[in-house]
Amino acid sequence: MIYIETRLKTALKEGLNTLYGLENLADKQLQINQTPKNFEGQLSVLVFPFVRAARKKPEQVAEEVGQYLLENCPEVAAFNVAKGFCNLEIADLYWQELLADLLRNPNYGQGARKESEILVEYSSPNTNKPLHLGHVRNNLLGYSTAELLKFAGYSVKKVQIINDRGIHICKSMLAWQLFGEGETPESSGLKGDHLVGKYYVRFEQAFQAEYKIWQATEAGQAVFAAFLADEKKYKKAVKELTKKSKDKKTAPTEEALQAYFFKSVYKNSYFNQSSELGQKAKAMLQAWEAGDAEVQALWEKMNNWVYAGFASTYKRMGVDFDKNYYESNTYLKGKELVENNLKSDSPIFFKKDDGSTWIDLTDAKLDQKAVLRKDGTSMYITQDMGTALLRYEDYKMDRMVYVVGNEQEYHFQVLFEILNRLGQPYAKNCHHLSYGMVELPEGKMKSREGTVVDADDLMQTLIDEVAKASNERDMLSALPLAEQKEIHEAVALGALKFFILKVEPRKGMLFDPKESIDLQGQTGPYIQNAFVRCQSVQRAFAEKNFSKTTYAEHKLEPIERELLLNIELFPNLVQRAAEQYNPAEIANYLYQLAKTYHQFWNIVKILDADAPQASSFRLDLSQAVAQVIAQAGAILGMKMPSRM
């Protein structure tokens, strides 16, 4: 079907050519928007861009354009002029055609198939702890972006890189060796990822205890004294502490400086140079890299515990992947790429005197970047280079979307520039879908101290809260217990997904669990309730054995036109949101559609309308709204229960 905006733009081009001799106008030069609610009409044409060519006042141009469209575009039933806009009333016949088309087309809004392969990377967790609230935003954003691109017509593959090696993994392994006493997920009753995360926290606790003792030693105090004697470092610390202090005039005490130094300045140096636990963890990493059988077996066992835990979390969250990549399999690929380039006739990398390997990106307004350490080991950037190469070998993708937090923006600028200089064909079409931090009302999340908000706990808490509220209202008690639980989970996870995805990705956000499950307001349950109302209409008509009639003579109410206009906007919105990698557009569209349907529900009679044509029309309209809510909700990963 050719939708109204396309029809209007075609007629508008012809009209502007006929009236003012304007030829070859591009679609982007023609602005057709939804008419504001305080004006009559559904769509408005902005005429200011054509005033100079017409040599007439805006009001006169709007009047002439409106008259031309009224006479030459059968979809236009009337028009009015206001403040340089030509507001158009769309004919009821068009809206009825749209409704009939939608009901015949279960894929309404879906884009035409595009010859383009897009990879979307998301989640990409470490195997030393369970997924947390930050991962939830990442997974929901990545999954919904992939589903949005699919719905828009692209071929999409969902991938993740699992960070399954490195010193952070060895910390959990070492702590389990030292303190675990053979504990397993089965013996502890813990999910595997939670059990491994427990030992990551246990390592940090043991390390902090060791570090605290060392700070009071002669060696620790000597290091602190050297720090105080370094004027540059001292001034920087004073500046940082003063910046954080409420009292901007009083200099920080030596006690405050010492706490800052040992926490923020020297901790990593202590771990690498002096810590007994640090040396053991590094020795374990070296043994793993050397292929030590015992260490490899422990690594495989604990990682498998984590993978089982992740799989359970992903399943409940409703996200999936077409392929998993593992850092343990890819980290050498980037190193090989760099070493081969160094041997080429035109290398883009160079070695420094200490043996480390770098690339100079200053001409791209970036810095020099290390890609191999002096001992030849790879960096994160090198591993990402190798993983990108493997993915291209697997999929020959045209575009690659990385869903990663905004703290990594510089990293991806560097990565994309390096891939471009290496001549990778997809490099110019790499995109970093950057997103802000998620916080709870209690504050930011941390993982080493064991105060992280686990994804599993968060989902279960929401499900419990929804179940409690549902039981208090006693709306589902007639249903089997299993069906009640299914509805509770759909509502809770719908609440979580909508609340997170309605926020523009680049913005930080505060996740309020209580607010997210509210039936009123901009929430998932509010949208699901609109779908439930649509379904209840279908059930009510079926119970009454209502026989539908044709409704060509039905005169639409303003709220019915508004609903159909919202539905009409869906296909173009999908394309726009997909090109922007922005599921928030879909979430906010869903809210507007649900809000309009709730208004419709309260304004008009449906089953008991004054005429059978009106009831028939509203029955079909409710079915159409349910269809679009379900389609848009599926893009966000939301399930729509038929009852709540």
Three-class SS of 177-189? HHHCCCCCHHHHC
Q: Which CATH class name applies to 468-635? A: mainly alpha
Predicted confidence at residue 30, as pLDDT, reads 93
More confident residue, 24 or 601: 601
CATH 3.30.1360.70 in the chain, residue ranges:
4-90
CATH 1.10.730.10 in the chain, residue ranges:
468-635
- 86, 47 in Cβ contact below 8 A? yes
β-pairing verdict for 76-82 and 85-90: antiparallel
- 485, 493 in Cβ contact below 8 A? no
CATH of domain 4-90: 3.30.1360.70
Predicted confidence at residue 2, as pLDDT, reads 61
Going through 128-229 in order, the beta strands assigned E by DSSP cover 155-162
Position 448 pLDDT exceeds 80: no
pLDDT, tens digit (0-9, with 9 covering 90-100), for 468-478: 999 998 889 99
Predicted confidence at residue 626, as pLDDT, reads 98
Provide the β-strand partners of residue 32: 45
pTM: 0.92
Q: Once rounded to an integer, what is the mean pLDDT over residues 35-56?
A: 92
Provide the β-strand partners of residue 568: none
Position 64 pLDDT exceeds 80: yes
Position 154 pLDDT exceeds 80: yes
β-pairing verdict for 43-46 and 430-435: unpaired
Position 440 pLDDT exceeds 90: no
Predicted confidence at residue 451, as pLDDT, reads 59
Q: Is 547 left (phi over 0), alpha (psi -120 to 50) or beta?
A: beta
- 554, 614 in Cβ contact below 8 A? yes
Alpha-carbon span 30 to 622, nearest angstrom: 32
First to last CA, the chain: 35
Q: Once rounded to an integer, what is the mean pLDDT over residues 246-271?
A: 92
Question: What value does the mean pLDDT of the chain take?
Answer: 95
pLDDT, tens digit (0-9, with 9 covering 90-100), for 265-321: 999 999 999 999 999 999 999 999 999 999 999 999 999 999 999 999 999 999 999
pLDDT, tens digit (0-9, with 9 covering 90-100), for 89-144: 999 999 999 999 999 999 999 999 999 999 999 999 999 999 999 999 999 999 99
User: DSSP per residue over 311-335, as a string?
Assistant: HHHHHHHT---SEEEEHHHHHHHHH
Predicted confidence at residue 541, as pLDDT, reads 95
| 510-530: b (≥16 Cβ within 10 Å) or e | ebebeebbbeeebbbbbbbbb
Q: Model confidence at 28, in pLDDT bands (50, 70, 90)?
A: confident
Percentage of the chain surpassing pLDDT 90? 89
pLDDT, tens digit (0-9, with 9 covering 90-100), for 499-551: 999 999 999 999 999 999 999 999 999 999 999 999 999 999 999 999 889 99
Predicted confidence at residue 123, as pLDDT, reads 98
Q: Model confidence at 250, in pLDDT bands (50, 70, 90)?
A: confident
pLDDT, tens digit (0-9, with 9 covering 90-100), for 8-18: 999 999 999 99
User: What are the angstrom distances between the C-alpha of 430 and each of 333, 348, 427, 544?
Assistant: 19, 20, 5, 56
Q: Which amino acid is at 576?
A: R
Predicted confidence at residue 446, as pLDDT, reads 52
pLDDT, tens digit (0-9, with 9 covering 90-100), for 354-412: 999 999 999 999 999 999 999 888 899 999 999 999 999 999 999 999 999 999 999 99
